[in-house]
A and B are shown apart, each in its own frame.
Chain A
């Protein structure tokens, strides 16, 4: 599956939840959830996610992640709704969760950026995706270090709400201010590399986009539209 073009993977992951919401419940939701769960069992060699757990085949790890993510929704749905509504909405949410977990497992951000560049998207747009995915773990790690550092300096994050809000300020301000100062360094690096809106570059290893995949993507889109029109008619 991971050999498919990134746009094809995105199209499948978007189409399944769309069908789950458009097709009548519970049959439509049941069909889409079965397809989505089937997909999680075929994450392919590029699967990452939680796949490092020893003793679990990557496909089962992806399936387990999807089921563990979807389970609380079923619990809360049962708390708030009757049986048929729980099943109808639960199947839709499970389809959405399983499709997304599968997508994360099979879609490599590098391949997606290459595909976007090859399709003629601006390098700036591709940069936004790649830089965001790399910046999030860096700042999360910095946030954890700041929490530990402030605790070492005697910050007490417990007590009254006012005390906790003061502690939150002491934790959040250094993180946000340091991140804003980092914008200067990033700007300099990007300007040095000549990056800006409208700049195009040649992709080094553009993913292969077969004619059959392009036809399949358009077919999925037309099927979604047809199902929506039929449902609304």
Chain B
């Protein structure tokens, strides 16, 4: 692996974890904890994205151990973002946001069985409360769990994709060209 990509990995992990301060400031129900994974994938490909996702889960686990089983979701996010980058879906918000919504569905489908079978749908307070709302609406246990995951993931991944698209277009062309996939993800090649 080139040294530049090696240097990118810790920075991308730190981006995922540091964005919580910005989210707290605007008080929106978002996580943005896959931003680093998606950004690294769009810059350097899915292998680097997977490495960022695994490391993000490992570091998050030190804060809250329930994050570790969801490492699978980070890997799926990296693979999906890789496909989206190769298709040039980060070329504008008009293409990035629908792609992010698609990821929201896939991420909630992936995280639901983990959340249901391992933690009984109690991974975070917000998800537990939306799951309780789903139960109150008469959904079966697994359906309520999916409802909780879907509500949290759907908008989050769309905003994350939009943010990554904005970052890619905010990078100077010379800086973007130093990474192997960035220009293709932006639809510039």
Contacts and interface: CB of A to CB of B under 8 A. Distances in A.
B32 A172 contact: yes
Contacts of B167: 173, 176-177, 180
Interface string A52-68: 00000000000000000
A233 interface: no
Nearest to B9: A128
Contacts of A138: 14
Contact of B17 (A72, A136, A167, A176): A136
B23 A168 contact: yes
B26 A173 contact: no
Interface residues of B, number: 55
A72 B43 CA distance: 38
A175 B122 contact: no
Interface string A102-129: 0010000000000000000000100111
Given A79-B128, A169-B163, A175 B19 contact: yes
B87 interface: no
Interface stretch (A1-9, A183-191, A218-226): A183-191
Interface string A178-211: 0111111011001100011100000000000000
Contacts of A186: 7, 10-11
Given A135-B11, A138-B14, A172-B163, A181 B175 contact: yes
Given A99-B65, A196-B3, A93 B121 contact: no
A169 B22 CA distance: 9
A106 B122 CA distance: 27
A228 interface: no
Given A96-B65, A96-B66, A80 B121 contact: yes
Contacts of A173: 163, 166-167, 170
Interface of A: 17, 21, 69, 72-73, 76-77, 79-81, 85-86, 89, 93, 96-97, 99-101, 104, 124, 127-129, 131-136, 138-140, 142-144, 146-147, 151, 157-158, 161, 164-165, 167-169, 171-173, 175-177, 179-184, 186-187, 190-191, 195-197
